[in-house]
Amino acid sequence: MFGPVEIIVNNAAYCNPDTFEPQEHFEKKTGATSDTISLESFEQHFAVNTRAPVFLMEELVRRHVSRKGKWRRIINISTDWAECFPTEISYGASKAATEAFSRAAAVELGKYGITVNIIGPGPIQTGWMSKEVEEAQANAAPLKKIGMPEDIADVVVFLASDQARWITGQRLFVGGGNRIV
Q: What is the DSSP letter of 79?
A: -
Among residues 81, 91, 101, 173, the one annotated as catalytic is 91
CA distance 34 to 41: 12
91 classed as catalytic: yes
Write the burial class of residue 114 (CB in 10 Å: 0-12 exposed, 13-18 middle, 19+ buried): buried
The answer to whether 125 touches 148, Cβ cutoff 8 Å, is yes
CA distance 94 to 72: 24
Residues that are catalytic: 91
